[in-house]
Amino acid sequence: MIVIKLGGSLAAANTLLDCLNRLEQNYQGRAVVIVPGGGVFAEQVRIAQQYWQFDDYSAHAMAVLAMQQMAWLFKGLKADFVLVHSVSAIAQQSEQKILIWSPNLDELNNAGIPATWDISSDSLAAWLAKTLLADELILVKSAAIDSKLSLAQFADYGIIDKAFCECVANTGFSIRIINQQYI
């Protein structure tokens, strides 16, 4: 199984549909789960939290809702993709379908995922890949990617979230961070 996280910035860069089309073309017939970033929806949560000064748990719940909104956007663009809300729902699906994960807040809470901005959809994709015993995790970004950088350097430059390195420590899957044009 391959877990592919599509950064929310792809929608802002107006390349989301092209990425979904290429993903469909290049990964059809393989076990693939797409993890959506929160994109502009998550950015609005950050702005609202800064303005209203509400707690991190509420912001975390709202950011998960942002990922769910993006999942629905992906589904709206690709009707043949299957929307799933839990790890058990992923396990029940045929390996011939491309799945879109719309994360369940209760499942994340039960897994002990901390409510912090250090954890974004990058780390949630890593958690999902680890939980599913995936073979590979691919993070697709709109940013330019220097393949010579280490994961720690990607985190230092803000390409991946601060918790990602810890989330993927001692995992058995390969990790690739790529620019959208290479999906």
**CATH number for 45:** 3.40.1160.10
Q: Which residue, chain included where needed, has tokens 């209760």? A: 106
Per-residue pLDDT at 96 exceeds 90: no
Average pLDDT over residues 143-165: 96
pLDDT at 4: 98
Mean pLDDT of the chain: 96
CA angle 73, 77, 79 (to 5 degrees): 105
Whether the predicted pLDDT of 134 surpasses 80: yes
| Cβ pair 13, 37 in contact under 8 A | no
Total structural domains within the chain? 1
Q: What are 27-79's pLDDT values in tens digits? A: 988 999 999 999 999 999 999 999 999 999 999 999 999 999 999 999 999 99
In the chain, the percentage of residues whose pLDDT exceeds 90 is 95
Convert the pLDDT of each residue in 1-19 to its tens digit.
999 999 999 998 899 999 9
Q: Provide the residue range defining the domain that includes 14.
A: 2-182
